[in-house]
Amino acid sequence: MDNQKILILDFGGQYNQLIARRVRECNVYCEVKPHDMSLEEIKAFDPIGIIFTGGPNSVYAESSPHPAKGIYELGVPILGICYGCQLLSHELGGLVTAAQDDSAREYGKTSTWFDTSCTLFRDLPQESITWMSHGDYMAKVPQGFRLVAHSKACPTVGICDEKRRFYGVQFHPEVNHTQYGSQMLRNFLYNICHARGDWTMADYKRRAIESIRSKVGGGKVLLALSGGVDSSVAAALLAEAVGSQLTCVFVDHGLMRKDEGDEVEQAFSRWDINFVRCSEEQRFLKALAGVTEPEQKRKIIGEEFIRVFEQEGKKIGSVDYLVQGTIYPDVIESGKGEAAVIKSHHNVGGLPDFVDFKEIIEPLRMLFKDEVRQLGRELGLPEYLVMRQPFPGPGLGIRIIGEITKEKLDMLRDADFIFRQEIARAGLEPMLSQYFAALTNMRSVGVMGDGRSYDYAIALRAVETSDFMTADWARIPYEVLDRISVRIVNEVRGVNRVLYDVTSKPPATIEFE
C-alpha cells in the first residue's frame, strides 16, 4: 500500500478506535498498533505522523506503558491525547503529578481557551467546549514547549513544540462532545503532517481488485456469504476481481432471523455468481448442545463454519482460497498481542488452528463499517443491501443467553420479527443504526389470562452510532415500545416479560454476547 499513513499507538484508552475513524474521515489512512511497537517496525511503517492515544495509567507509575526509545528522534510529528499528552511531557523533561485537589481533575464537557497562533488550533474560535477525562496534571512542561490551551481549573490543557512538531492536549478531540475536535485533527494531518488526503474508497477498490487478481491468479475461490453488508460487499469485490472463479457458499446454520435464509437466496439469485446454500441447522445445534459460555459458542460456530466450507470446497474441487467479510472492528475487538479481547469474532479469534485452504483472503479487514458501505456503493450494490441491518456471523447464537435450543431460536425469531416490523411501521428505521431482540436466560412469574406463568424475558436493543465502535441507546417512543411489548407477550409463546436495554457502548457492547 502506497498511501500516506498515520500511526496510532494504543495506550489502552476507551476512545482509541474512534481516533482512527476521525483520521480516516479526513481521507488519511491510519492503523492502530500496540504501544510497544519496536522502533524498527515504526520505521518500516513509515508514518507521516504519530498519535499517542489516551489510557487509564499514570505516566509516572513504574508499570505505565511507554513507546519505543528513539521515537522522538525520528523527525515525525507527534500528537499526544490525554495520557499521550502527559507521556510527551513526562518523557521530554516535564513533570506530571496527580492532581493536588479535585478542582484540577477534569471530567466531561469543559470550557477551554486556545492560543490560535498554534498550528493545531489554527482558524478555530479562541474559546469552545472540549471533553476532558484526566486526573493527572502537567505541573511543568518540557523545555521548548509552550502552553497553548487552558481551562478554568487547568493552565496546561494544551502544549506544543512547533519546531519539533510535537503537540499535546489533555482533552479528547476525537469525541463529538469536543466542538472543534475534527478540525484540530485535520489541522494536525494537513497543516502539520502535510497529508495529501489520498485515502478514498474508489482508490481502495482499484487497488484491492489488483491485489486479489495478483494473489489468486487462476485459482478457485470460495466466499463465506452470510447476506450481511460485509460479506455482500466482499462478494461484489471478488466477483469483479475473479468472476467465474468465485463460488459463494451461504451456510444456513439455523441461527438466522425469521425467513432470512430464503431472503438471502432470493437476493443473490439475481447475481451472475455461483451460489450454494447449505442447510446445516442440525449440525450446528448438535455442536452447540449444552454450551452456555459466549466465547465457546463463538469458537464452535467459527469451527463449524470452516468445516462446512472445507466440505463444500472439496465438492467444487481444488479450491485454494477462502474469502471472509472480516472488518477492522472485528479484528480490534478480538484482540491482538497484549490488546484486550472484548469478544472473539467467529471469523477472527474464533477460527480453528487448522484451516484446509491455501490461504484466507479478507479484503475488508482494514475497513470500518461506514467505509465498507461506501465501497459497496462504489461497486454498484443496491442501497438496500449496503444499508442492511448488521447481523453477526454467529447469528442468534449470541442473542440467546445460555444454552441454544430449537425452541428458544423459534421464540426469539418471532419476537425479533415483531420488533423489526413495528419499527418499520413507525418509520424509525432510518434513525436506528442497529436494533434486535435477545432472549435472556431469566424466567419470572407472570399472569397470563387467569393463570400463573413462569416464562422468559425478551430484551430489546436499539442503538444509534456512526462507526459501531461507540454507540448510544436509541430513544424509541414509549407508544412504540408499548405496541411491541403487547404483541410479543401475546403472540410469542413462552415469553411473559419485555425489557428495553438503555446501556450505551461503552461500557456495553452492541451485541449481548
Instruction: Give the pairing type, strands 220-224 and 246-252.
Output: parallel
* Cα 489 to Cα 218: distance, rounded to the nearest angstrom: 55
For the domain bounded by 405-500, which CATH number is listed? Answer: 3.30.300.10
Pairing of strands 359-361, 319-323: parallel
Average confidence score pLDDT of the chain: 88
Return the pLDDT at 344: 42
> What are the Cα distances from residue 468, in Å, to 115, 181, 227, 333, 390?
34, 19, 19, 11, 10
Ranges assigned E (strand) in 374-464: 434-448, 451-464
CA 453 from chain centre, in angstroms, equals 40
- At 377 the three-state DSSP class reads helix
Contacts of 256 (CB under 8 A, 6+ apart): 264, 395, 396
Helix axes 229-242, 369-378, angle to 10 degrees: 40
Crossing angle of the two packed helices 294-316 and 281-288, in degrees rounded to 10: 150
Angle subtended by helix axes 201-216 and 229-242, to nearest 10: 60
The three grid cell numbers given for residue 511, joined into one nine-digit string? 451485541
Please tell me the predicted confidence (pLDDT) of residue 267. Answer: 73
Positive or negative torsion for Cα 46, 50, 54, 57: positive
Over residues 175-203, the pLDDT tens digits come to: 888 999 999 999 999 999 999 999 999 99
Arithmetic mean of pLDDT, 91-117: 79
Highest mean pLDDT among 188-202, 231-245, 335-349, 445-459: 188-202
Which of the 8 DSSP states describes residue 400? B
Band of pLDDT at residue 337, cut at 50, 70 and 90? very low
Whole-angstrom distance, CA of residue 477 vs CA of residue 183 = 34
pTM passes above 0.75: no
* Domain 5-192, architecture per CATH: 3-Layer(aba) Sandwich (3.40)
Neighbouring-strand partners of residue 149: 114, 158
**CA-to-CA distance for 256 and 50, rounded, in angstroms?**
42
Is 127 in contact with 179 (CB distance < 8 Å)?
no
Of 332, 289, 266, the C-alpha closest to 469 is: 332
Query: Phi, psi at residue 111, to the nearest 5°?
Result: -70, 130
Q: Which of 26, 154, 160, 174 is catalytic?
A: 174
Angle at which helices 406-425 and 478-491 cross, to 10°: 150
Task: Report percent pLDDT > 70 for the chain.
Answer: 91
pLDDT value of position 106: 59
Most confident of 29-43, 218-232, 261-275: 29-43
Please state the domain extents for the chain: 5-192, 201-386, 405-500
Tell me: domain 201-386, CATH 3.40.50.620, correct? yes
Q: Is residue 174 annotated as a catalytic residue, yes or no?
A: yes
Contact between residue 469 and residue 371 where contact means Cβ atoms under 8 Å apart: no
| Whole-angstrom distance, CA of residue 310 vs CA of residue 274 | 16
How many whole angstroms separate alpha carbon 92 and alpha carbon 94?
Answer: 6
Can you state the percent helix, strand and coil of the chain, rounding each to 5? 35, 25, 40
Mark out the alpha helices in 317-354 (DSSP H runs): 328-334
Task: Please confirm, yes or no, whether 85 is among the known catalytic residues.
Answer: no
Lowest mean pLDDT segment, chosen from 205-209, 333-337, 455-459: 333-337
Rounded to an integer, what distance in angstroms lies between the CA atom of residue 268 and that of residue 110?
A: 51
Number of CB atoms found within 10 A of residue 31's CB? 14
DSSP-derived secondary structure letter, 124: S
Which residues share a beta bridge with 319? 220
Q: Which member of 35, 90, 172, 346 is catalytic?
A: 172
The tens digit of pLDDT for each residue in 350-408 reads 444 555 678 889 999 989 888 999 999 999 888 877 887 778 878 899 999 999 999 99
DSSP 3-state of 240: helix
The listed range with the strongest mean pLDDT (122-126, 310-314, 348-352) is: 122-126
Fold match flag (5-192 vs 201-386): yes
Q: Which position among 82, 118, 154, 248 bears the catalytic label?
A: 82
Which are the contacts of 249, defined by CB distance < 8 A and separation ≥ 6? Answer: 222, 223, 224, 225, 276, 278, 308, 309, 312
Q: Is the dihedral of CA 104, 108, 113, 116 positive or negative?
A: positive
When pLDDT is averaged across residues 306-316 and rounded to a whole number, the result is 83
Alpha-carbon distance of 233 to 224, in angstroms, equals: 12
H/E run at residue 299? helix 294-316
Cell of residue 471, nine digits: 454507540
Beta-ladder partners of 112:
128, 151
